[in-house]
Structure 1
């Protein structure tokens, strides 16, 4: 092996180590966000699938928390950190396959500098955390196939397994098969005659059986809900949604990296890109552009989330890495472009951590009742403190006989109910229950966290953060005989008021009122 190539192999491990160490610090120090605590509830009841997503995110949390016994943010997120570390090596190895070890090293550093892959999927525990690993493993298998004239059966079977697992993590993993099918249809039609293509497809389908079983049992509620989120029926053109999507993608994938991705795509379509083989380019485009194009099209009519297209843009990092390696081939050091991208990401991480943990006050509304509304950073701030404050209040209520023992905690939405279950109910051992519409409760509408539900005469607490304020009397007044004036707990950040928590005591549940409504 060439000495320089060997040095690149050795360099990838310090990159993975340093990045993983940063991920561990963030995973330990930041409270869980809305989605993360919600996915933690999946781990409380391992199932074939769940209301919002396929099951792997719940299974992963269940494993990393030792069956939810390890109750700390780091353990909840440990699966994401581990998947990210493994994926970085897979990215390196894939870059080595398409060009050389230096391309692989550059691709791995770009992956670490991409906010979506490194932080959104690499620190926070989301369905993307496992999907991005399986996506890259599938992509590597397909690129290996592309470099063979007929394709190897083993690589195809691996592709089928990894794609199935990617889809079992998040449903749009199926776009890998769409990309593979498009590639074969356009450029390798003779491979359709090979038996292993169909066996690979069968493996993917077998992996997806848990999703099918659960949805049959629940009348395909997942797809009924998500189809509404992307449906274009009766939608009007919204250029502001499209612009928001573009800006979101640019931020999530690092402005420097995002610009280079589109520079490389323009060069490809102008037939001026020569940094890797035609077969490699074809595979990457087939596996990336359909998902990107569909989501950009939907964003013209509906508001969508920028990270939905994350795996597609992540795949295109290979084009950038190969192009930078070709452009700076005579330099032994990492290109300045990569350093700039890394610097921007580190700056965003530090700024984000400071805003979440120490920004004075709130970025949101200063309305008396909705204080902090619109400030998404509050989703990851202050829940440990409010949990301790509520525990003291609950214990005092028990001593004074103000509330029944084991009074419920209720809410009309999955957030903030999931936060309240993780940071409050876990310690007070109170039962929780969602009361409201399916679209508001999601998994809480079809799953009960404990065997006993609210019964005649039960008391309950309703904890309302001001950034998600609701009129408790309007939602629950008909269900309880009496609702006390709320206790108001003020929460400060950086020495200034950030939000309020309104703690309502609700007395004597009346189930017949729920039946009537």
Structure 2
């Protein structure tokens, strides 16, 4: 397999994109407080298992990589895995676009994914299951292009008189799809999409009958052994959660709403950034409805360029449409359809190269203008998160600020560094941490924040006594704590609900207030931690699921 390296103009742009993007993502990773799920995944990396309640195990490894190597627990270190692996994903996507189309298309594709916020933040900064998913999704795209479209002196199977002959790369595809599933359950959609492409494209149906496909299935099953093993020991709880429990509602299931679906679609375009989101969907629709797709079903010698488009569409469009349609019934997170957007960016990159040949100044303004706008937006966002730049009140806010503290959603992200400093500066609290045997809270996501703040000071078990416990229902045997003392740590808004505290009184002999820790930004209190001393743990908390 041989690639032609782009000439100097493109290669310098490629290097600038990679290094500039890495620098930008690293700076954001340093300054951005951990998200709810990121802090929770940090606890994954402290409780290594074959799999987990809500996700397969790869996210535990990618999240733990940074702090295992450095010994430092911080927003940057839990994101080092994402920062590094995203560079590999970018390389694979660039390689796929270059291999299928041209070096110019590869660089343009790289420019687009570097600018699109959903990719840069969701895949390249935040630690999440999507880190591994997009890596192996990209590897699948790359390997599929290599398998189905051999070039550079190799026989072009299916496009000449020589029939397509499956190769060992089919087995490699089975491994990549298995690893994608071991990262996030979206990988199963990727596998089905790959089968769909082979069925829909006549020259490649023989791949499904090949012995190499049997090897691929074997590698797929073996790769997923950790997932099968853990779930077989826990009543297949992960699959029950992903396929039903997470969508359960106390009220009757809502009917499908076209308006809700369109609203979700517009939100997804906003996350892509409209100047990229709308062209992305336009190119996808245009390529999907172009004449000739029916010929792929019928003839062994269809147009090769059409088949390349079909490969990308088959590995991208199903997951895009699946979650767009599901958005008409349920709340959908932005990252769920994102692997599909990631793939079709190749088609947008190829189209943008054609546009650039016709209107070079317009395309230059499109890319540079979008880039500078997004950078400026990022700077304002980081200033606000760190200093309260838009907060009211804040000593750093121009014109007195715009958003009152009690209406500022960004205060939901907790500054674990400040939490740690406040804990370390309170002698009574440090003494209590040395005396108790575990720490608990009332929300699963708070457990991650507390872990990142407390573990560098005291290595204590941290759990959540909640009816939405996620992994906490499986990580500890509560009977080990009977007769022991604990700290209960929660937030101001939960203290206002007496029902939350009431559920814990029967579990302990006594629960008493210990101290409060005010978190500040721009001189104003944005959140308050309430800490209680709980003595003599008498009975386990009743989780809705678990061992």
Is 1:325 aligned to residue 353 of structure 2? yes
Aligned to 1:504: 532
**Structure 1 unaligned runs (5+)?**
364-370
Aligned to 1:259: 278
The answer to whether the 8 A contact 1:83-1:133 is kept is yes
The answer to whether the 8 A contact 2:440-2:462 is kept is yes
The answer to whether the 8 A contact 2:4-2:103 is kept is no
Is 1:221 aligned to residue 249 of structure 2? no
TM-aligned CA deviation for residue 39 of structure 1: 0.9
Is 1:306 aligned to residue 334 of structure 2? yes
Is 1:197 aligned to residue 220 of structure 2? no
Is 1:421 aligned to residue 451 of structure 2? yes
Is 1:46 aligned to residue 79 of structure 2? no
Is 1:396 aligned to residue 410 of structure 2? no
The answer to whether the 8 A contact 2:115-2:370 is kept is yes
Aligned to 2:182: 168
Secondary structure of the residue aligned to 2:510 is strand
The answer to whether the 8 A contact 2:316-2:344 is kept is yes
Aligned to 2:142: 140
Aligned to 1:366: none
TM-aligned CA deviation for residue 482 of structure 1: 2.9
Partner residue of 2:117 out of 115, 118, 124: 115
Quick check: 312-321 or 5-14, which moved more? Answer: 5-14
Counterpart Cα distance in 1 of 2:292 and 2:519? 54
Q: 1:486 to 1:328 in 2, by over 3 A?
A: same
Q: 1:262 to 1:388 in 2, by over 3 A?
A: same
Q: 1:96 to 1:303 in 2, by over 3 A?
A: same
Q: 1:155 to 1:351 in 2, by over 3 A?
A: farther
Aligned to 2:398: none
TM-aligned CA deviation for residue 126 of structure 1: 0.4
Partner residue of 2:416 out of 379, 383, 387: 383
Partner residue of 2:464 out of 434, 443, 447: 434
Aligned to 1:459: 485
TM-aligned CA deviation for residue 218 of structure 1: 1.0
The answer to whether the 8 A contact 2:264-2:328 is kept is no
Secondary structure of the residue aligned to 1:54 is coil
Aligned to 2:88: 86
The answer to whether the 8 A contact 2:86-2:135 is kept is yes
Q: 1:373 to 1:218 in 2, by over 3 A?
A: farther
TM-aligned CA deviation for residue 375 of structure 1: 4.9
Q: 1:349 to 1:453 in 2, by over 3 A?
A: farther
**Structure 2 unaligned runs (5+)?**
150-156, 159-163, 294-302, 393-403
Quick check: 200-209 or 428-437, which moved more? Answer: 428-437
Counterpart Cα distance in 1 of 2:542 and 2:221? 42
Q: 1:252 to 1:154 in 2, by over 3 A?
A: farther
Question: Normalising to structure 2: TM-score of the pair?
Answer: 0.83
Secondary structure of the residue aligned to 1:51 is coil
Question: Normalising to structure 1: TM-score of the pair?
Answer: 0.87
Residues 120-152 of structure 1, C-alpha deviation per residue, up to 9 Å, x if partnerless?
111111010121111111011112333242155
Is 1:234 aligned to residue 259 of structure 2? no
The answer to whether the 8 A contact 1:12-1:89 is kept is no
- Figure out how many residues of one structure are paired with residues of the other and give that number: 501
